[in-house]
Structure 1
């Protein structure tokens, strides 16, 4: 990794739109859900890391904890709500279930907002090393999932 600083323009809307498009790829969605359910990973963090990989930038080793820490405010709420929604799925009308999914998406968006604020407050550098998504998958013990995230997103314009 070089000490050459990198300037990027990350907004919540940019990350959110990127996430919606990227997550819509079946293999990516399946790998994200496996990362979340089998390895206790955070999909929003992975999507942010993929966006940074696409920009060919990274943050320093000393900032990993800070980035993960910014999830703390919303992670417990999101996990608890997701578990409740799953339990209620067969017990509530379909319309109520769909509304709960919409609320969960709002919580996801808030978590992404926290991540954007965090990333915009730390110094980024050109990434000359391995991708952040690979490092995160390896950190969780799910390195085999990385192949689903390895391909560049050159067919999604302007994200």
Structure 2
């Protein structure tokens, strides 16, 4: 099995763990800077695998993911947030479940693109990805745990 195929097995399982550890920070970065949480978790996971991507690779991942999410996920997320006070708990939970399904679709798109990239980066993926938003990794040390 190649290393890239190993992504299929463990990547999103590990990312679920990262999300539970840092949910508040991830959502804050998403809301305040429009950071893609899936890409942020991917950067953390890739750093732990010593699999470095270039800034160009991160820009491609960000651009392609943003195109799909801008058309589908982000409008749905906005609708869900606007509907929160108008729905019963069960109905709102159904909307959250659909959003999670859309997040998984986004993860599939990320994984597909990742398999097309070479890995010749020179610095931390987390630092490179945060740098696209003019953020410094040292301001978020908990993300590296």
| Coarse TM-score class (shorter-chain normalised) | 0.7 to 0.9
Q: For 1:105 and 1:130, locate their aligned partners in 2 and report how far apart those are by CA, in whole Å.
A: 31
Aligned length in residues: 141
Report the RMSD for the aligned CA atoms in angstroms: 2.0
Moved beyond 6 Å, runs of 4+? none
- Pairing 1:1-159 to 2, within 5 Å after superposition: 7-8=3-4, 9-11=6-8, 13-25=9-21, 28-76=22-70, 77-125=72-120, 129-143=122-136, 145-151=139-145
- Deviation string 1:58-94 (CA, Å, 9 cap, x unpaired) is 1233323321222034311111111110110010111
* Equivalent pair of 1:71/1:114 in contact (CA under 8 Å): yes
TM-score (norm 1): 0.79
Q: 1:73 to 1:139 in 2, by over 3 A?
A: closer
Unaligned runs of 5+ in 1: 1-5, 152-159
* Equivalent pair of 1:10/1:120 in contact (CA under 8 Å): no
Q: 1:23 to 1:104 in 2, by over 3 A?
A: same
Q: 1:140 to 1:61 in 2, by over 3 A?
A: closer
Q: Which has the higher helix share?
A: 2
Unaligned runs of 5+ in 2: none
Higher relative contact order (CA 8 A, sep 6+): 1
- SS at 1:121 equivalent: coil
